[in-house]
Amino acid sequence: MFRAGDASELVGQRLRTALAAAGDDQIVFDLDGIAGRSAALRRELPGVRVRFAMKACPVDEVIGRLAGEGAGVDAASPGEIAQALAAGVAAGAIHYGNTVKSDRHIADAYRLGVRDFATDSVEDVAAIAAGAPGSRVFCRLATDGDGALWGLSRKCGCSVADAVLVLDRARELGLTPAGLSVHVGSQQLTVRAWRTAFDLIAEAITELSLRGIVLDHVNLGGGLPALGYLDRHGRALAPPLDAMFAAIRTGMRELRRLAPAPLDLVMEPGRHLVADHGVIRAHVSRLSARRRPDGRRQHWLYLSCGRFNGLYESDQLRYRLVFPTRSDADLVPAVVAGPTCDSDDILGAEPTLVPATVVSGDPVWILACGAYSVSYQTQGFNGFFPLPHTFAPSLVPASTPGPV
């Protein structure tokens, strides 16, 4: 059983200052922390081009700060493309990474200046050739998604055999068959998944070379984990990040040796860059107790923020809670839930130990909420409206935009 309050040391000074000053519910982002995570990624994987998966945190200031660090954007719609452009990302540093695209959206993206498109079928390639003539395409290979909290293995991606057909057809239609991509699953927790992905890419490169198709890049997708989550039972997730980076570096070297021409490597981190650098300041609605039908007494802690206010991912994970104004010396196990009347609005599979003295209005810090908390907020379910977002005080001036 997770003990709320144990995680207060995980809140950095910049975030702590902003949270302490917050009088109302909000999401606070640490832009310096996000930039620092991006710099650490580039150190671990030198030479890799970063395309931020903006769906993880579609906040202009976050996109702009990462662009200042040299990152482009992985966009999934014309709406995201337009937002990235407005935030200062160059069109040449944006790719349309969604394999699901209507004819209209392809044409809109092309009109906005995007020339790099993900694909996974000959039907989609034909649509790209019609709506975005002469563009570059990269074909997404399907992975099994094993080892990730969200496998992402059903909707997108194709087999190696189909990838050869797709890119061959792209060449016939006047497109440039430029690359391959994979996605090992969101919040991937194993090293094996990366090794398997590299084996799959190597097989595809070999088969494509036999057709005379020479690629110029491989997109390794997303999947790099955040570090601050708990599993559904309240145990700390401990992804082997150092071993993952080592496996990726090894895989990159092997692909470059295998490829018949120089090969660029791209990654689409989203969660990994932002999750640990966003905290929700919420408050206690009520701590109450009632008897279940079996006669057992059960405590419930209701918060002002729940699954419909940005914490949708609590189906697979739990968020660390901090009660900054209460001692945790006297604790009670409580089911933690959001403020709506929906029975699905529960955070975690098991009770959490919470301070028994909390009262309505007490602040609660919900950690590691920087990823998807903005994206997953409803527009007012039960009258609970999206949280505003603010930013921790920056100690470092914004970088001069670097190469993307």
Q: Quote the CA–CA distance of 13 and 403 in Å, as a whole number.
A: 30
Q: Each residue of 272-327: pLDDT tens digit?
A: 999 999 999 999 999 999 988 888 999 999 999 999 999 999 989 999 999 999 97
Enumerate long-range contacts of 283-287, CB under 8 Å, 24 or more apart: 283/25, 283/360, 283/361, 283/362, 283/363, 283/364, 284/358, 284/359, 284/360, 284/361, 284/362, 284/363, 284/364, 285/339, 285/360, 286/360, 287/332, 287/334, 287/354, 287/356, 287/358, 287/359
Instruction: Give percent of the chain with pLDDT exceeding 90.
Output: 89
Judged by phi (left if over 0) then psi (alpha if -120 to 50, else beta), residue 295 lies in left
Helices (H), 147-221: 160-172, 192-210
How many CA within 13 A on the CB side of residue 215? 30
More confident residue, 7 or 16: 16
Q: What is the mean pLDDT of residues 164-177?
A: 98
229, 71, 74, 217: which is closest to 150 by C-alpha? 229
Quote the pTM value: 0.94
User: Phi and psi (nearest 5°) for 371?
Assistant: -105, 130
Q: Each residue of 99-158: pLDDT tens digit?
A: 999 999 999 999 999 999 999 999 999 999 999 999 999 999 999 999 999 998 889 999
Structural contact between residues 160 and 203, judged by C-beta atoms closer than 8 angstroms: yes
Q: CATH 3.20.20.10 spans which residues of the chain?
A: 32-275
- What pLDDT score does 12 carry? 87
Residue range 276-391 forms a domain whose CATH class is mainly beta
- What pLDDT score does 217 carry? 98
- Comparing 9-18, 174-183, 251-260, the range with the smallest average pLDDT is 9-18
- What pLDDT score does 8 carry? 63
Structural contact between residues 339 and 285, judged by C-beta atoms closer than 8 angstroms: yes
From first CA to last CA, the distance across the chain in angstroms is 45
- What pLDDT score does 74 carry? 98
- Comparing 7-16, 74-83, 386-395, the range with the smallest average pLDDT is 7-16
Statement: residue 1 has pLDDT above 70: no
Q: Please give the positions annotated as active site.
A: 341
Structural contact between residues 404 and 70, judged by C-beta atoms closer than 8 angstroms: yes
Domain 32-275 has CATH 3.30.70.141: no
- What pLDDT score does 105 carry? 98
Q: Quote the CA–CA distance of 120 and 124 in Å, as a whole number.
A: 7
Q: CATH 2.40.37.10 spans which residues of the chain?
A: 276-391
